[in-house]
Chain A
Amino acid sequence: MIETLGRTALAVVGELGDFTLFAGRSLASAVGSRKLGRRIMRALYEQGVRCLPVILIVGVFTGLVLGLQGYYVLSRYGSTSVLGELVSLTLVRELAPVLAALMLVGQAGSALAAELGIQRNSEQIDALETMGASPHAYLIAPRIIAAAVSFPVQTAFFSLIGIWGGYLSGSLLLPLQGGIYWASVHAAVGWPDLRECLLKAVVFGLLTIAICAHNGYNTHRRSRATGARAVSASTTRAVVVSCIAVLAADYLITSLLVRS
């Protein structure tokens, strides 16, 4: 029992160390890398433009539900006038960064892990190494750098469309006046809330894309599966670990910011 616990703990520490080195080496490899800008633009398109419809759909429904639930709870206390505050702060501080990150992990992160896994299996990553090219600079760094840009933008879109969803619920489907809703939003959201939102989005972006890349890149190290099964296992693990990391990082950042 103790031996198993110890072995597991050592494996986790080893994996964390390996991941940290992987992420650090990837970011360091970007320095002086040729045509990095073009590869970042391609990654921005994949992680940003292609994921935007999902972000908008999930965002609007989240806002609709928040508006609906919030209105009925607040109406018990005669406080429906603060519906805008409730919806906007819930979204900006918590739900938009977390849900947008989970959606991006599901779409862009899983695609990245699978793509790298297939590239590993078909020796494309080995081919880069034999050419003397850095797979970290070519394949990983552009994705991580793009995530630091695309996640905050996606989170901003999520927040905006979600707040608009809250307005749809509260003022078009329910009897709250639109002016009261928007005045409440305007009064509630301040710079510290936006800073928290953007900070979380950047951290979640860097963390999840690095985790997905690490899992896909190391597909060949899976001892229990090979070939397509290894790619499938890497992709599943990438998504699960990324989701857990988002929630854990959210708690850590929130607790740090609340105390400060």
Chain B
Amino acid sequence: MTAPATEFLLDVRGVAKRFGEHPVLTGADLLVPRGSVVAVLGKSGTGKSVFLKCLAGIVTPDAGEIRFDGRVLDAGNASARAEFRRRCSYLFQSNALFDSLTALENVALPLESTTQVPNAEIRERSLEALRQLELDRHRDVHPAQLSGGMQKRLALARAIVTRPELVLFDEPTAGLDPLRRNSVFEMVAKYQRQFGFTAVLVTHDVPEALAVSDRIALLDAGRMRFQGTPAEFSRSDDPAVRSFRDSAAALRDTIAALRRGETLPSEEPS
């Protein structure tokens, strides 16, 4: 029997994770409406990637509940986890492409490994995914022979070939220059509209996240400090949100002060 569709495709409550003595997540919540793009912001080292890996099942949380389409994902519910994996794709920060396989073989891999789709259809769907991401000319090339941006597109082609309902993006712009960064965000926005998947995007690029997302969440000290629309994020008076949101302006003020030869407050003798 199919459960009735809920408003939120993903409903995360109180996820906690510690590594040894170091608590990374202390009770993180997240609501992801269907068909939306939710950006999870946070400073480096705040546990954004760990949070996303908890959602994907790569890391097992110590506490908390994750519901996908109304069904709880936990170790005791193998069928729910298997269904989640069938309907969800994960885009790794490092792309995690198989370097011994060609671009076409990389894209075909999820279909070959997890479905009973005939070989001819696998090839057709994989070529179609490559065409949609303008990589069809490079189908016989290995990932190492592609540029960084093309590898990112190839990873996205592999992620969408199974026609997922949810795509998890782990810092898709890490290590890219501003032009490539913008093109990755454009790519996310364009294909999210084209394929209609729900997306959770972990990043620390505030302006771009505000531009492409329907909702913003700010992870701070192991918890979601803020969840709301980009407009609410822009208006929020929460000190953590303000410091994150205004970090670029604060940097500009600091540099301007240094150029004027002023002493910074932190440098004044005590």
Contact = CB atoms under 8 A, between A and B. Distances in A.
B96 interface: yes
Contacts of A123: 92, 94, 96
Given A34-B113, A138-B113, A132 B92 contact: no
A18 interface: no
Interface in A102-136: 119, 122-124, 126-134
Given A124-B98, A126-B58, A131 B113 contact: yes
Contacts of A132: 82, 85-86, 110, 113-114
Interface of B: 53, 56-58, 82, 85-86, 88-90, 92, 94, 96-99, 109-110, 112-114, 116, 162
A133 B101 CA distance: 16
B109 A133 contact: yes
A160 to B, nearest CB: 33
A126 B114 contact: no
A259 interface: no
A70 to B, nearest CB: 45
Contact of B96 (A35, A122, A134): A122
Contacts of B112: 34-35
B58 A130 contact: yes
A133 B114 contact: yes
B113 A128 contact: yes
Interface of A: 34-35, 119, 122-124, 126-134, 137-138
Nearest to B100: A115
B48 to A, nearest CB: 16
Given A123-B94, A123-B96, A124-B96, A130 B113 contact: no
A134 B56 CA distance: 15
A126 B113 contact: no
Nearest to A123: B96
Contacts of B58: 126, 129-130
Contacts, number: 54
8 contacts: A124-B98, A126-B58, A130-B58, A131-B85, A131-B89, A131-B110, A132-B113, A134-B113
Given A35-B112, A133-B110, 16 more contacts: A123-B92, A123-B96, A124-B96, A126-B53, A126-B96, A127-B96, A127-B98, A130-B88, A131-B85, A131-B89, A131-B110, A131-B113, A132-B110, A132-B113, A134-B113, A137-B113
Given A131-B114, A133-B109, A126 B82 contact: no
Interface centre among B57, B90, B96, B97 (most CB of A within 10 A): B96
Contacts of B57: 129-130
Contacts of A134: 113
Contacts of A119: 98
Contacts of B56: 130
Contacts of A130: 56-58, 85, 88-90
B152 to A, nearest CB: 14
Contacts of A124: 96-99
A35 B90 CA distance: 24
Contacts of A128: 113
B90 A127 contact: yes
Select the residue from A35, A126, A128, A131 with max chain B CB neighbours within 10 A.
A131
Contacts of A133: 109-110, 113-114
A65 B181 CA distance: 64
Contacts of B94: 122-123
B109 A131 contact: yes
A126 B53 CA distance: 10
Nearest to A32: B116
CB-CB nearest 7 A-B residue pairs: A133-B113, A132-B85, A127-B96, A130-B90, A123-B96, A131-B110, A132-B114
A230 B161 CA distance: 33
A196 B99 CA distance: 40
